[in-house]
A and B are shown apart, each in its own frame.
Chain A
Amino acid sequence: MNSEADEKTGIQPDEADLLYQRLNREAEATGYHLNPDQEFTLELVRSLLINQQRFGYPACPCRLASGKKDDDLDIVCPCDYRDQDLNDYSTCYCSLYVSDQVLKGQKIAGSIPERRPVRKEPKMQESQAGQNNLSSLPLPVWRCKVCGYLCARENPPGVCPICQAQQERFEKFI
């Protein structure tokens, strides 16, 4: 065992570096940016690893996860709220992701209001979703809840080709 591993969490220092590098690569490849404050961002990445260890998925470090994946799906990083917050506040709730302006130093990323609904809205019934006059479409349309990507096919893709979110983050849109 690496003697430098964090005593409490067992997370190796290079584990955080590797995840940081991967997230940074993926972000830059898809038009997103990690917070340029490296120390701050590495701290968040370590927290994502802690949550990955605790729950088996990287729940948002700044929100209280229930530990039940179905209930936490909207706050698995990147959460369903990141893009709206980037638009409105130039930062995601934790400031792991920031806008172009923050990257260029034209804006400062700070603590922003929480937009996750208090009680999750009841999910639209599948039957309702299909019952509009577009239901005659030859294929259903699936929407990635993380980035808004739409595709018409029998089933959502295994991984979103735009933001790499997993299949479970798709909803039937039409």
Chain B
Amino acid sequence: MSATKHVSGADKGKLLLFALSTCIWCKKTKKLLEALGVDYYYIDVDLVPHDERDEVVAELKSWNPQSSFPTLVINNQKTIIGFNEPQIRTELEK
């Protein structure tokens, strides 16, 4: 997906964050991932052009039917919905 951005850091598996550029909990999640120094990808879905948005939202829905933000997908397996700092730390500090 063209709108995907990459932040480099330590490899803790493939991390993909569905976010909004205006969402405060998404910003906190990005900051936490940066503080943890992990490698991750993110998409600010509100900045995705309308003609590509359906596709991105469909992908998000497959991970989180409610398509709420932030949604963090870990290794195409696990999702963490919302800014859940303890859960993110547990997953990424192991």
Interface residues of A (CB under 8 A from B): 40, 43-44, 47, 50-51, 61-65, 67, 94-95, 110-114, 118
Interface assignment of B66: CB less than 8 Å from any CB of chain A: yes
Identify the closest chain B residue to A47 (Cβ): B22
Contact B69 A113 (CB under 8 A): no
Interface assignment of B42: CB less than 8 Å from any CB of chain A: no
What secondary structure prevails in chain A residues at the interface with B?
loop
**Among B23, B45, B57, B65, residue most surrounded by chain A Cβ atoms (within 10 Å):** B23
Sorted nearest first, the 5 A-B pairs with minimum C-beta distance are: A47-B22, A114-B68, A61-B22, A111-B83, A111-B82
Contact B46 A40 (CB under 8 A): no
Which residues does chain A contribute within 8 Å of B84, judged by CB atoms?
A: 111
Contact A43 B24 (CB under 8 A): yes
Q: How far is the CA of A113 from the CA of B82 in the complex (A)?
A: 7
- Show 11 A/B contacts (Cβ-Cβ < 8 Å), sorted by A: A40-B24, A61-B20, A62-B23, A62-B26, A64-B46, A64-B67, A65-B46, A111-B28, A111-B82, A118-B66, A118-B67
Asked if A43 meets B27 with Cβ closer than 8 Å, knowing A50-B22, A62-B22, A110-B83, the reply is yes
Q: How far is the CA of A43 from the CA of B46 in the complex (A)?
A: 17
Which residues does chain B contribute within 8 Å of A110, judged by CB atoms?
A: 83
Q: How far is the CA of A15 from the CA of B44 in the complex (A)?
A: 24
**Among A44, A50, A61, A95, residue most surrounded by chain B Cβ atoms (within 10 Å):** A61
Name the one of B20, B25, B27, B81 contacting A64, with C-beta atoms under 8 angstroms. B20
- Nearest-neighbour CB distance to chain A for B55, whole angstroms, equals 14
Q: How far is the CA of A51 from the CA of B20 in the complex (A)?
A: 12
Q: How far is the CA of A132 from the CA of B83 in the complex (A)?
A: 44
Name the one of A44, A62, A114 contacting B66, with C-beta atoms under 8 angstroms. A114
Which residues does chain B contribute within 8 Å of A111, judged by CB atoms?
A: 25, 28, 82-84
Asked if A61 meets B66 with Cβ closer than 8 Å, knowing A110-B83, A111-B82, A111-B84, the reply is no
- Nearest-neighbour CB distance to chain B for A41, whole angstroms, equals 9
- Nearest-neighbour CB distance to chain A for B57, whole angstroms, equals 7
Residues of B14-41 whose CB lies within 8 A of A: 20, 22-28
Name the one of A65, A95, A118 contacting B24, with C-beta atoms under 8 angstroms. A95
- Nearest-neighbour CB distance to chain A for B80, whole angstroms, equals 10
Contact A64 B24 (CB under 8 A): no
